[in-house]
């Protein structure tokens, strides 16, 4: 009547969205090659297959497989993720849309009996075995340079810093004789608080600059000597004294005061020099002790009240000569604990 309504005999065809999706799914999976690809991806599961691997299993050119993969990806049947310079393809998350899941369920039994499919799967097993055989090749080939490769990417000390995570995050640690704050800065992210003591004003300023630059709010810098530490009784869970004791006149007195500030069950970690004959250390670097015999240090620790004493020599594989070609002294590390029973000295 108004020219907008169709004539009585006109038929309007409207395809419902669900039907349209079903038809598109049928078209996508109607191709035998795509059925074979889907079956192989189902068989392979994680982490998926590369186009080249699918081509080997299907005995087809890679270009042909790539074309079919593209169609399957666009239909949401398959998805891909980058793996280095190539792509790995697998069945889409949740195995695709409901329509695809229904078709795969219907077709699974039929495809399992197909000789072509079974031949594909046998070839795929060979492809996967070859992948597994090749997978360690990188490590076998790289073994001689592996340390260098890791160092280039992650630095010299990442594995040592990793060990700091074993520290108790609730601890209060004393870095006694902190110097420029190197060890305090390493310890700070892994413990509740670091109390860093240093007698030299210039060293303390350098440590302050380091701690401020790193924004380490849990490091407290304190001027003071190891023989009379500016710390409260039994305030430390752990005390670290690294390359410090050989500078002290009264080592035994320092160990007694460290014992005072350790909590019951707390421990002391000492790093220092074994006996040596490097005269410049005494003449130019202020060393008062030419290293320590381990038994000598153990005796002083026992007299201060420590127990459970252990020691290790640090065997450096990269000991560097000094300018006068004199080998650097070896280091030792010694650990000692304050007894749980504070009355039992």
Per residue in 275-325, pLDDT (tens digit) is 888 888 877 788 888 889 989 999 999 999 999 999 998 875 454 445 555
Please indicate, yes or no, whether residues 135 and 196 belong to a single structural domain of this protein.
Answer: no
Q: Name the residue with higher pLDDT: 10 or 263.
A: 263
Residue 6 lies in a domain: no
Please indicate, yes or no, whether residues 182 and 324 belong to a single structural domain of this protein.
Answer: yes
Question: What pLDDT does 325 receive?
Answer: 59
Question: What pLDDT does 106 receive?
Answer: 67
Which domain-ending residue is among 139, 174, 197?
139
DSSP string, 96-114: S-HHHHHHHHHHHHHHHT-
The pLDDT of residue 210 is above 70: yes
Question: What pLDDT does 175 receive?
Answer: 97
Please indicate, yes or no, whether residues 262 and 203 belong to a single structural domain of this protein.
Answer: yes
Spatial contact of 137 and 162, defined as CB atoms under 8 Å apart: no
- pLDDT more than 90, % of the chain: 43
Residue 101 lies in a domain: yes
Q: Stretch 54-80: mean pLDDT, rounded?
A: 89
Please indicate, yes or no, whether residues 54 and 166 belong to a single structural domain of this protein.
Answer: no
Domain count across the chain: 2
Q: How far apart are CA 56 and CA 44, in angstroms?
A: 14
Question: What pLDDT does 336 receive?
Answer: 97
- pLDDT more than 70, % of the chain: 81
Q: Stretch 167-174: mean pLDDT, rounded?
A: 97
Residue 98 lies in a domain: yes
Residue 10 lies in a domain: no
8-state DSSP, 327 = B
Please indicate, yes or no, whether residues 133 and 251 belong to a single structural domain of this protein.
Answer: no
Q: How far apart are CA 132 and CA 45, in angstroms?
A: 15
Residue 147 lies in a domain: no
Residue 8 lies in a domain: no
Please indicate, yes or no, whether residues 132 and 210 belong to a single structural domain of this protein.
Answer: no
Question: What pLDDT does 131 receive?
Answer: 79
Please indicate, yes or no, whether residues 37 and 135 belong to a single structural domain of this protein.
Answer: yes
Residue 145 lies in a domain: no
Please indicate, yes or no, whether residues 135 and 175 belong to a single structural domain of this protein.
Answer: no
The pLDDT of residue 345 is above 90: no
Please indicate, yes or no, whether residues 178 and 77 belong to a single structural domain of this protein.
Answer: no
Range of the domain at 42: 17-139
Q: Name the residue with higher pLDDT: 39 or 298.
A: 298
Question: What pLDDT does 72 receive?
Answer: 87
The pLDDT of residue 171 is above 90: yes
DSSP string, 53-84: HHHHHHT--HHHHHHHHHHHHHTTSEEEEEET
What tens digit of pLDDT does each residue of 103-119 get? Answer: 666 666 667 778 888 88
Q: What element of type H or E holds 237?
A: strand 236-242
Please indicate, yes or no, whether residues 209 and 111 belong to a single structural domain of this protein.
Answer: no
- Give the total residue count for the chain: 345
Question: What pLDDT does 136 receive?
Answer: 61
**CATH number, domain with residue 243:** 3.40.50.150
The verdict on pTM exceeding 0.85 is no
Please indicate, yes or no, whether residues 195 and 291 belong to a single structural domain of this protein.
Answer: yes
């Amino acid at each position: 009547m108004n020219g907008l309504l169709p004539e009585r005999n006109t038929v309007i065809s409207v395809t419902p969205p669900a039907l349209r999706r079903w038809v598109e799914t049928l078209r996508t999976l109607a191709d035998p090659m795509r059925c074979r690809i889907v079956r192989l991806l189902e068989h392979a599961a994680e982490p998926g297959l590369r186009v080249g691997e699918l081509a080997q299993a299907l005995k087809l050119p890679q270009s042909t497989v790539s074309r079919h993969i593209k169609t399957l990806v666009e239909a949401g049947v398959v998805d891909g993720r980058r793996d280095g310079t190539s792509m790995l393809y697998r069945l889409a998350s949740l195995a695709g849309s409901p329509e695809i899941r229904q078709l795969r369920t219907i077709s699974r039994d039929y495809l399992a009996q197909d000789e072509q499919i079974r031949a594909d799967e046998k070839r795929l097993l060979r492809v996967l075995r070859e992948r597994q055989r090749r997978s360690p090749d990188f490590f076998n080939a790289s073994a001689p340079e592996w340390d260098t490769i890791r160092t280039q990417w992650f630095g010299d000390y990442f594995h040592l810093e990793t060990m700091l995570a074993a520290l108790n995050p609730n601890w209060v640690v004393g870095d006694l004789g902190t110097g420029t704050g190197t060890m305090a800065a390493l310890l700070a992210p892994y413990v509740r608080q670091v109390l860093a003591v240093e007698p030299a004003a210039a060293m303390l300023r350098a440590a302050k600059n380091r701690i401020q630059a790193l924004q380490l709010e849990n490091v407290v810098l304190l001027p003071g000597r190891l023989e009379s530490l500016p710390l409260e009784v039994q305030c430390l869970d752990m005390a670290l004294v690294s390359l410090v004791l050989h500078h002290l006149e009264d080592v035994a007195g320092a160990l007694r005061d460290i014992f005072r500030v350790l909590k019951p069950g707390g421990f002391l970690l000492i790093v220092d020099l074994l006996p040596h004959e490097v005269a410049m250390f005494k003449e130019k670097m202020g060393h008062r002790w030419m290293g320590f015999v381990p038994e000598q240090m153990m005796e002083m620790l026992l007299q201060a009240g420590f127990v459970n004493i252990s020691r290790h020599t640090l065997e450096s594989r990269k000991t560097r000569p000094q300018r006068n070609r004199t080998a650097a002294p070896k280091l030792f590390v010694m650990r000692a604990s304050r007894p749980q029973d504070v009355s039992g000295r």
